[in-house]
Amino acid sequence: MADSLLELRIVDGPVPWTVWLLAAAAFVYLLVRPPRIRWVLTALIGLLAGALAAFATIAIVETLNVFGVPLTVQTDAWVVATFAAIGLAVVNLWRSRWWRKLVAIIGIVLFAASGTLGINAYFGLNPTLASLLGVTVEHPIDFNKPTGSPNPSPDPDGEAAKPLYETWTPPADMPTTGKQGTQVIPATVSGFSSRPAGIYLPPAAQVPNAPELPLLVLMMGQPGNPDTQYIATVLDEYAAKNKGLAPIVIVADQLGDPSLDPVCADTAKLGNAESFIMQDVLGWAKANLRILQDPAHWTIAGYSNGGGCAFKYGAKYPEVWGNVLDISGEEYPGSEEPDQVVANLFGGDQAAFEAEKPESILKSGTHAYPDTVAIFTVGGNDPGFIPEAKGASDAATAAGWKTTYYVIPGAGHVVDALEGGFEKGFEVLYPRLGLSAPAG
């Protein structure tokens, strides 16, 4: 019962519309009273006071950069409407009968819920109540564990040397879409406290005698959830056109607590996030998934906060990650509050913090990048992140990476940017991963 409640969709369907309609009814009831001058002035004062409180809140949020991205006109409108309606409800608590007071109290709850649902629906990144609350509802997945030892590298003289799109023949009973579920990945090495990872198995991974497939590890934004649905939607489209072939995806939790940012590093205060991704997640993947073992078929990917982490790991571990997909990524992990990150997570060691930046790693000369492919995408209506994406792409190109930089027309920093980034990313990666023929 609790899981069913947590999995209610709140970006579309009956739940948000029911709340909005009830809120509208409460607003009308609270507004309509005998049109005496006293009440008209009182109602106007309540609405205006609420609106002014909203503008003050917006100004504070923008000044402090609370969410890491500028607020949009749509979110501002929801905030103003919500606060104004609450102001109207508050003035109904005086000089009124008990039932009007009761409607006013219920209205305050409905108005707050309506604003929350409206803003969430605009961003679209929390489709369920669970995701809005940062809770993962577990759906353990049968991941078709391999029974033999992995092949460390393809046989250059045999069929294994050919790309999958040439050698794979799907069985007639292969599923038409991927399977999604969750998996608790033991933090054996890191001790990091993470939420269950999301797992996506493409159609080709669900059949007996499934082929070894590419691996993609994805990290979402902050706050955010290890949710497979967005990448699954795009990969199902690609798989349908390519014999059911797609990467096996692990959506790993690099945050632990969605309200905190471990900046994808090992720190005493917030735990060993880097060791979790690079050792625990990868160790589990190698032992449990039917994946190709060479770096050319492994991709580290991320969105927003996760994008900065993907860029860092691609720079720091080129022997592991042959491919990087950075969607609307931060310039570097911890870029939103660098002074606080240095003080709280790096013990005041500015040099240590600088050394962990992906561009610093690229320029250090410590690593060679003979065959790294990277895609950097950003929304065309995301001015705060465009310079960061372009700077990351330029730095990667200068280090010898084979890069693609793409601005998604009309997209901001929400679902349109995320899905658009996946679309462009897999357009580039599919031929690279042997899942489709090269373009042209």
- Greatest mean pLDDT range, 52-66, 75-89, 148-162: 75-89
For residues 253-278, average pLDDT: 93
Quick: pLDDT tens for 272-295.
Answer: 999 999 999 999 999 999 999 998
For residue 224, what pLDDT is reported?
82
Quick: pLDDT tens for 320-362.
Answer: 999 999 999 998 998 888 888 999 999 899 999 999 999 999 9
* Average pLDDT for the chain: 90
The three-state (H, E, C) secondary structure of the chain, written as one string = CHHHHHCCECCCCHHHHHHHHHHHHHHHHHHCCCCCHHHHHHHHHHHHHHHHHHHHHHHHHHHHCCCCCCCCHHHHHHHHHHHHHHHHHHHCCCCCCHHHHHHHHHHHHHHHHHHHHHHHHHHCCCCEHHHHCCCCCCCECCCCCCCCCCCCCCCCCCHHHCCHHHHCCCCCCCCCCCEEEEECCCCCCCCCCCCCEEEEECHHHHCCCCCCECEEEEECCCCCCCCCHHHHHHHHHHHHHCCCCCCEEEECCCCCCCCCCCCCCEECCCEEHHHHHHHHHHHHHHHHCCECCCHHHEEEEEECHHHHHHHHHHHHCCCCCCEEEEECCCCCCCCCCHHHHHHHHCCCCHHHHHHCCHHHHHHCCCCCCCCCEEEEEEECCCCCCHHHHHHHHHHHHHCCCEEEEEEECCCCCCHHHHHHHHHHHHHHHHHHCCCCCCCC
Band of pLDDT at residue 267, cut at 50, 70 and 90: very high
pTM: 0.84
Residue 206 CA: distances (Å) to CA of 144, 170, 228, 288: 7, 11, 16, 14
Quick: pLDDT tens for 94-126.
Answer: 888 998 999 999 999 999 999 999 988 887 777
Return the closest-CA partner of residue 178 out of 225, 240, 126. Answer: 240
**Residue, of 70 and 234, whose pLDDT is higher:** 234
Band of pLDDT at residue 405, cut at 50, 70 and 90: very high
For residue 147, what pLDDT is reported?
63
For residues 420-427, average pLDDT: 97
**Is residue 253 over pLDDT 70?**
yes
Band of pLDDT at residue 156, cut at 50, 70 and 90: very low
Band of pLDDT at residue 190, cut at 50, 70 and 90: very high
Quick: pLDDT tens for 199-223.
Answer: 999 999 999 989 999 999 999 998 8
Read off the amino acid at residue 398.
A
Both tokens assigned to 43 = 């109602």
Report d(CA 105, CA 91) in Å as an integer: 11
The domains located in the chain, with CATH, are: 2-123 (no CATH), 137-432 (3.40.50.1820)
For residues 259-264, average pLDDT: 90
